[in-house]
Amino acid sequence: MIQVYDTAQELYNAAAWLWIRAALEQGGLVGVATGTTTTPIHETVARLHAVAPFDTRSIAICAVDDYVGIERGHIASCSERVRHQLVAPLGLAEKQALLPDRFNGEDAPRQYEEAIAGRGGVRMQMLGLGEDGHIGFNYPGTPIGEKAHLIRLPQSTKDTLHRLYAFPMDKMPTFGLTLGIRNILMSHSIVVAVSGAKKAVIVREAILGPVCERVPASALQLHRNVAWLLDKESASLL
């Protein structure tokens, strides 16, 4: 399904309602991602809860990725941003959020996979889309069958951390922990939210181009239940 909205805010509103509906269903986890598009979606969810509180006791979430080695509590951490954007505003208990920064060492990917499976898997995974087509930390060249893994972070990601969070270059994380494309495709449903003209080319390649490792998001064509939520700018080349 492809849904196009006139403005980015209309996209955020629609995605927020989808998130809430999925989060309130029983069984499994709702997967979240942190990025320039998903952050305002989380903020919209928090505002809706503040205006019209809903029962959050049954909500259980997990995150698609995080940096390895950032101290807990640092806002550059993806897990910490999830806590700030969703866990705290929705009043979730710590046990309701299964986040990557709880897992350490070379065995962390397997441990995280097993923890997610033990909670019933991911019912709905919400994703953003990188300008190079990455989903999670699955950058171009990642095998479609890749499971959760540690990835050496590209320089572009380090530059973004430095720019957005003034993260010192000499303390920059080297690796990230991410669910693999295979894990993402195991979700019961997937929602991809994308905004902005600068992502129009990669949106077209991901949706209409061949399934290939060069565009990791193209693997989503293999899933039967994917919703693409786009604003007019990101959908302009479809």
- pLDDT confidence tier of residue 160, bands split at 50, 70 and 90: confident
| pLDDT given for residue 154 in this prediction | 84
Parallel, antiparallel, or unpaired: how do β-strands 149-152 and 175-178 relate?
Answer: antiparallel
- pLDDT confidence tier of residue 203, bands split at 50, 70 and 90: very high
* DSSP H helices in the chain: 8-24, 38-51, 78-82, 88-90, 108-118, 155-165, 181-185, 200-208
- Domains of the chain, first to last: 2-231 (3.40.50.1360)
pTM assigned to the model: 0.92
| pLDDT given for residue 158 in this prediction | 80
pLDDT for 76 beyond 90: no
| pLDDT given for residue 204 in this prediction | 97
What is the spatial distance between Cα 208 and Cα 205, in angstroms, rounded to a whole number?
5
| pLDDT given for residue 138 in this prediction | 96
Ramachandran angles phi, psi of 32, nearest 5°: -125, 160
pLDDT for 26 beyond 80: no
Average pLDDT over residues 114-138: 94
- pLDDT confidence tier of residue 157, bands split at 50, 70 and 90: confident
| pLDDT given for residue 21 in this prediction | 92
Contacts of 93 (CB under 8 A, 6+ apart): none
Q: pLDDT tens for residues 44-68?
A: 999 999 999 999 999 999 999 999 9
Mean pLDDT of the chain: 93
Q: Is 33 left (phi over 0), alpha (psi -120 to 50) or beta?
A: beta
Determine what percent of the chain falls in helix, strand and coil, rounding each to the nearest 5: 40, 20, 40
What is the spatial distance between Cα 48 and Cα 62, in angstroms, rounded to a whole number?
21
Cα separations in angstroms, 12 against 7, 51, 202: 9, 16, 20
Side-chain half-sphere of 205: how many Cα atoms within 13 Å? 17
| pLDDT given for residue 169 in this prediction | 77
Side-chain half-sphere of 117: how many Cα atoms within 13 Å? 11
| pLDDT given for residue 155 in this prediction | 85
pLDDT for 171 beyond 80: no
Give the residue among 124, 128, 125 at the shortest CA–CA distance from 193: 128
Average pLDDT over residues 19-48: 92
